[in-house]
């Protein structure tokens, strides 16, 4: 579980850096805010993983659903940036 978590975190860091290089993250407040929300979800998930507190954890389930939504939103933003409909 921890390896998958680190892979997700590293991938998101790479995406964030690439967006910053291409467009300037400070110029994209909606994207920046989405990353802020994703970071919060990941910090909570990291705590639960560290203390093996995922099993039957309703909060973790809700946070994972939130993560899925934020990640989908980020994908839409990336597609729009790549098609030059920058936020």
Confidence band of 86 (pLDDT split at 50, 70, 90): low
Q: Considering only CA atoms, which of 60, 73, 83, 81 is closest in space to residue 33?
A: 73
Q: Considering only CA atoms, which of 25, 12, 27 is closest in space to residue 75?
A: 12
For residues 7-27, average pLDDT: 95
pLDDT number for residue 55: 87
Residues 73 and 14: beta-carbon distance below 8 Å: no
What is the 3-state secondary structure of 39-81?
HHHHHHHHHHHHCCCCCCCHHHHHHHHHHHHHHHHHHHHHHHH
Q: Considering only CA atoms, which of 28, 36, 10 is closest in space to residue 82?
A: 28
* pTM for the whole structure: 0.88
**pLDDT tens figures, 32-65:** 999 999 999 999 999 999 999 988 999 999 999 9
Domain boundaries, the chain: 2-82
């Amino acid at each position: 579980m921890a390896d998958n978590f680190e892979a997700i975190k590293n991938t998101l860091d790479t995406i964030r850096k690439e967006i910053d290089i291409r467009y300037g993250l400070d110029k994209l407040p909606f994207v920046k805010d989405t990353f802020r929300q994703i970071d919060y979800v990941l910090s909570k998930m990291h705590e639960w993983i560290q203390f093996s507190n995922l099993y039957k954890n309703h909060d973790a389930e809700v946070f994972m659903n939130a993560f899925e939504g934020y990640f989908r939103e980020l994908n839409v933003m990336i597609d729009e940036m790549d098609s030059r409909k920058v936020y």
